[in-house]
Amino acid sequence: MNKFAKKSALLALIAGFGLAAPLAQAQERVYVTAPVAGNVVAKSGFGLCWRTGYWTPAAAAKDPAGCECDKDLLPKEACEATTKTAEAAKPLGFAPSNERITLAADALFDFNKAVLRPEGKQKLDDVVGKLKGLTLEVVLLVGHTDRIGKEDYNQKLSEKRAAAVKEYLVAKGLEANRVYTEGKGEKWPTKATENCTKMGAESGSNKKLVACLQPDRRVDVEIVGLKPLAK
Protein backbone atom coordinates (compact mmCIF):
# COMPACT_ATOMS: atom_id res chain seq x y z
CA MET A 1 0.00 0.00 0.00
CA ASN A 2 1.50 3.35 -1.00
CA LYS A 3 1.66 6.40 1.26
CA PHE A 4 -1.40 8.05 -0.28
CA ALA A 5 -3.48 4.88 0.03
CA LYS A 6 -2.44 4.46 3.67
CA LYS A 7 -3.39 8.02 4.45
CA SER A 8 -6.74 7.77 2.67
CA ALA A 9 -7.64 4.52 4.42
CA LEU A 10 -6.70 5.85 7.85
CA LEU A 11 -8.54 9.13 7.41
CA ALA A 12 -11.64 7.32 6.17
CA LEU A 13 -11.52 5.19 9.32
CA ILE A 14 -11.26 8.20 11.62
CA ALA A 15 -14.03 10.07 9.82
CA GLY A 16 -16.25 7.02 10.31
CA PHE A 17 -15.92 7.30 14.07
CA GLY A 18 -17.46 10.81 14.15
CA LEU A 19 -15.06 12.14 16.75
CA ALA A 20 -15.90 15.84 16.74
CA ALA A 21 -18.61 16.28 19.39
CA PRO A 22 -17.45 13.79 22.08
CA LEU A 23 -14.01 15.36 22.14
CA ALA A 24 -15.49 18.71 23.13
CA GLN A 25 -13.86 20.67 20.34
CA ALA A 26 -15.42 23.54 18.46
CA GLN A 27 -17.36 22.67 15.34
CA GLU A 28 -15.01 24.62 13.06
CA ARG A 29 -12.00 22.48 14.01
CA VAL A 30 -11.42 19.87 11.32
CA TYR A 31 -8.76 17.91 13.22
CA VAL A 32 -8.98 15.91 16.45
CA THR A 33 -7.29 17.94 19.17
CA ALA A 34 -6.26 17.64 22.81
CA PRO A 35 -8.12 20.45 24.60
CA VAL A 36 -6.34 20.07 27.94
CA ALA A 37 -2.98 20.95 26.38
CA GLY A 38 -3.83 23.88 24.18
CA ASN A 39 -5.54 21.95 21.38
CA VAL A 40 -2.49 20.04 20.18
CA VAL A 41 -3.47 18.01 17.12
CA ALA A 42 -3.59 14.28 17.73
CA LYS A 43 -1.68 12.14 15.26
CA SER A 44 -1.81 8.49 14.33
CA GLY A 45 0.98 5.98 14.56
CA PHE A 46 1.79 6.92 10.94
CA GLY A 47 2.26 10.57 11.96
CA LEU A 48 -0.94 11.67 10.20
CA CYS A 49 -3.37 14.15 11.73
CA TRP A 50 -6.79 12.74 12.55
CA ARG A 51 -9.53 14.51 10.64
CA THR A 52 -13.02 15.01 12.02
CA GLY A 53 -16.23 14.72 10.03
CA TYR A 54 -16.03 18.48 9.36
CA TRP A 55 -12.91 18.18 7.20
CA THR A 56 -12.89 19.55 3.66
CA PRO A 57 -9.94 21.09 1.76
CA ALA A 58 -11.51 24.54 2.17
CA ALA A 59 -12.04 24.06 5.91
CA ALA A 60 -8.49 22.75 6.31
CA ALA A 61 -7.15 25.97 4.80
CA LYS A 62 -8.89 27.93 7.56
CA ASP A 63 -7.93 25.61 10.42
CA PRO A 64 -4.91 26.65 12.55
CA ALA A 65 -3.41 23.21 12.02
CA GLY A 66 -4.12 23.02 8.29
CA CYS A 67 -0.51 23.60 7.24
CA GLU A 68 0.81 21.17 9.83
CA CYS A 69 -1.56 18.42 8.76
CA ASP A 70 -2.24 18.95 5.05
CA LYS A 71 0.59 21.12 3.79
CA ASP A 72 0.52 19.38 0.41
CA LEU A 73 -3.10 20.49 -0.14
CA LEU A 74 -2.70 24.16 0.80
CA PRO A 75 -1.00 27.12 -0.92
CA LYS A 76 2.72 27.20 -0.19
CA GLU A 77 2.68 30.90 0.66
CA ALA A 78 -0.05 30.46 3.27
CA CYS A 79 1.82 27.68 5.05
CA GLU A 80 5.14 29.53 5.10
CA ALA A 81 3.41 32.48 6.77
CA THR A 82 1.82 30.35 9.51
CA THR A 83 4.70 28.02 10.40
CA LYS A 84 6.33 30.35 12.93
CA THR A 85 2.99 31.19 14.51
CA ALA A 86 2.11 27.52 14.93
CA GLU A 87 5.45 26.76 16.57
CA ALA A 88 5.01 29.59 19.05
CA ALA A 89 1.52 28.40 19.96
CA LYS A 90 2.58 24.90 21.04
CA PRO A 91 1.76 24.29 24.74
CA LEU A 92 4.55 23.82 27.24
CA GLY A 93 4.87 20.82 29.49
CA PHE A 94 3.03 18.28 27.34
CA ALA A 95 3.75 16.22 24.23
CA PRO A 96 1.27 14.28 22.06
CA SER A 97 1.49 10.54 22.56
CA ASN A 98 0.22 7.94 20.12
CA GLU A 99 0.61 4.23 20.56
CA ARG A 100 -0.82 1.44 18.47
CA ILE A 101 -1.14 -2.06 19.87
CA THR A 102 -2.31 -5.10 17.93
CA LEU A 103 -3.81 -7.86 20.05
CA ALA A 104 -4.39 -11.32 18.60
CA ALA A 105 -8.12 -11.99 18.77
CA ASP A 106 -7.36 -15.63 19.59
CA ALA A 107 -5.56 -14.42 22.72
CA LEU A 108 -8.64 -12.41 23.74
CA PHE A 109 -11.41 -14.77 22.67
CA ASP A 110 -11.98 -18.40 21.86
CA PHE A 111 -12.17 -19.14 18.13
CA ASN A 112 -15.42 -17.80 16.66
CA LYS A 113 -16.46 -16.25 20.00
CA ALA A 114 -16.81 -12.70 21.36
CA VAL A 115 -16.60 -13.39 25.11
CA LEU A 116 -13.30 -12.34 26.68
CA ARG A 117 -11.10 -15.10 28.01
CA PRO A 118 -9.28 -14.69 31.36
CA GLU A 119 -6.02 -14.46 29.41
CA GLY A 120 -7.57 -11.78 27.23
CA LYS A 121 -8.57 -9.73 30.26
CA GLN A 122 -4.99 -9.90 31.49
CA LYS A 123 -3.74 -8.51 28.17
CA LEU A 124 -6.24 -5.67 28.39
CA ASP A 125 -5.06 -4.96 31.93
CA ASP A 126 -1.63 -4.43 30.38
CA VAL A 127 -3.18 -1.91 27.98
CA VAL A 128 -4.77 -0.05 30.91
CA GLY A 129 -1.36 0.03 32.57
CA LYS A 130 0.04 1.91 29.58
CA LEU A 131 -2.39 4.76 30.30
CA LYS A 132 -0.79 5.64 33.63
CA GLY A 133 0.62 9.15 33.57
CA LEU A 134 -1.16 9.87 30.29
CA THR A 135 -3.87 12.47 29.82
CA LEU A 136 -6.14 10.32 27.70
CA GLU A 137 -7.87 11.81 24.69
CA VAL A 138 -9.27 8.81 22.84
CA VAL A 139 -8.92 5.05 22.41
CA LEU A 140 -9.84 3.51 19.06
CA LEU A 141 -10.70 -0.19 18.89
CA VAL A 142 -10.98 -1.89 15.50
CA GLY A 143 -11.97 -5.55 15.34
CA HIS A 144 -10.97 -7.86 12.49
CA THR A 145 -11.66 -11.46 11.49
CA ASP A 146 -10.22 -13.93 9.02
CA ARG A 147 -12.00 -14.77 5.76
CA ILE A 148 -13.51 -18.07 6.94
CA GLY A 149 -17.30 -17.90 7.01
CA LYS A 150 -19.83 -15.50 5.51
CA GLU A 151 -18.88 -11.86 5.17
CA ASP A 152 -21.95 -10.56 7.05
CA TYR A 153 -21.29 -12.91 9.94
CA ASN A 154 -17.64 -11.90 10.14
CA GLN A 155 -18.60 -8.22 10.14
CA LYS A 156 -20.91 -8.69 13.12
CA LEU A 157 -18.32 -10.82 14.94
CA SER A 158 -15.65 -8.14 14.54
CA GLU A 159 -18.04 -5.51 15.91
CA LYS A 160 -18.99 -7.68 18.90
CA ARG A 161 -15.33 -8.29 19.73
CA ALA A 162 -14.47 -4.59 19.61
CA ALA A 163 -17.52 -3.86 21.78
CA ALA A 164 -16.47 -6.51 24.31
CA VAL A 165 -13.03 -4.92 24.60
CA LYS A 166 -14.61 -1.48 25.11
CA GLU A 167 -16.94 -2.82 27.81
CA TYR A 168 -13.98 -4.24 29.71
CA LEU A 169 -11.89 -1.06 29.40
CA VAL A 170 -14.80 1.08 30.59
CA ALA A 171 -15.26 -1.25 33.56
CA LYS A 172 -11.60 -0.56 34.36
CA GLY A 173 -12.27 3.16 34.60
CA LEU A 174 -11.98 4.58 31.08
CA GLU A 175 -14.64 7.10 30.09
CA ALA A 176 -17.06 5.48 27.66
CA ASN A 177 -17.23 8.59 25.46
CA ARG A 178 -13.47 8.39 24.88
CA VAL A 179 -13.51 4.79 23.60
CA TYR A 180 -14.63 4.24 20.01
CA THR A 181 -15.23 0.91 18.31
CA GLU A 182 -15.53 -0.30 14.77
CA GLY A 183 -15.58 -3.69 13.11
CA LYS A 184 -13.90 -4.32 9.77
CA GLY A 185 -14.85 -7.96 9.46
CA GLU A 186 -12.61 -9.72 6.94
CA LYS A 187 -11.98 -6.57 4.86
CA TRP A 188 -8.46 -5.76 6.10
CA PRO A 189 -6.33 -8.95 6.03
CA THR A 190 -2.67 -8.63 6.96
CA LYS A 191 0.26 -9.21 4.62
CA ALA A 192 1.22 -12.16 6.80
CA THR A 193 -1.71 -14.17 5.40
CA GLU A 194 -1.21 -13.42 1.71
CA ASN A 195 0.13 -16.92 1.16
CA CYS A 196 -2.73 -18.71 2.93
CA THR A 197 -4.07 -20.13 -0.32
CA LYS A 198 -4.70 -23.60 -1.71
CA MET A 199 -4.98 -25.12 1.75
CA GLY A 200 -8.20 -26.97 1.17
CA ALA A 201 -11.71 -26.18 2.34
CA GLU A 202 -12.48 -22.66 3.54
CA SER A 203 -13.83 -24.00 6.81
CA GLY A 204 -13.23 -23.69 10.53
CA SER A 205 -12.57 -27.41 10.60
CA ASN A 206 -9.54 -26.94 8.34
CA LYS A 207 -6.95 -26.59 11.10
CA LYS A 208 -4.10 -25.78 8.73
CA LEU A 209 -6.00 -22.85 7.21
CA VAL A 210 -7.25 -21.63 10.59
CA ALA A 211 -3.68 -21.54 11.89
CA CYS A 212 -2.39 -19.76 8.80
CA LEU A 213 -5.05 -17.04 9.04
CA GLN A 214 -4.46 -16.33 12.73
CA PRO A 215 -2.82 -12.89 12.14
CA ASP A 216 -6.06 -11.66 10.53
CA ARG A 217 -8.01 -12.35 13.74
CA ARG A 218 -7.02 -9.28 15.73
CA VAL A 219 -8.12 -6.15 17.54
CA ASP A 220 -6.16 -2.96 16.83
CA VAL A 221 -5.93 -0.59 19.79
CA GLU A 222 -4.87 3.02 19.16
CA ILE A 223 -4.25 5.18 22.22
CA VAL A 224 -4.06 8.96 21.85
CA GLY A 225 -3.25 11.32 24.68
CA LEU A 226 -0.74 13.70 26.19
CA LYS A 227 2.19 12.86 28.37
CA PRO A 228 4.20 15.29 30.51
CA LEU A 229 7.55 16.33 29.09
CA ALA A 230 10.58 15.10 31.00
CA LYS A 231 12.04 17.79 33.20
Question: What's the pLDDT at 83?
Answer: 52
**pLDDT grade for 61, boundaries at 50, 70 and 90:** confident
Highest mean pLDDT (candidates 24-28, 46-50, 137-141, 156-160): 156-160
Q: Is 210's pLDDT higher than 50?
A: yes
Largest Cα–Cα distance of the chain, in whole Å? 62
**Cβ contact 30:54 at 8 Å:** yes
pLDDT for position 120: 92
Which domains, ranges and CATH numbers included, belong to the chain?
Answer: 3-91 (no CATH), 95-228 (3.30.1330.60)
Q: Does the pLDDT of residue 14 top 50, yes or no?
A: no
Q: Is the pLDDT of residue 52 over 50?
A: yes
The pLDDT, as a whole number, for residue 218 is 92
Three-state DSSP state, 188: coil
Calculate Rg over the CA atoms of the chain.
20
Residue 186's pLDDT band (boundaries 50, 70, 90)? very high
pLDDT at 100: 81
Please report, rounded to a whole number, the percentage of residues in the chain having pLDDT higher than 90. Answer: 33
150 class by beta-carbon count within 10 Å (0-12 exposed, 13-18 middle, 19+ buried): exposed
- Would you state the pLDDT for residue 112? 87
pLDDT at 17 over 80: no
The tens digit of pLDDT for each residue in 87-116 reads 554 455 666 667 788 899 989 998 888 999
Q: Which of 64-68, 72-76, 154-158, 205-209 has the highest mean pLDDT?
A: 154-158
pLDDT at 172 over 70: yes
Phi, then psi, of 5 in degrees rounded to 5: -65, -40
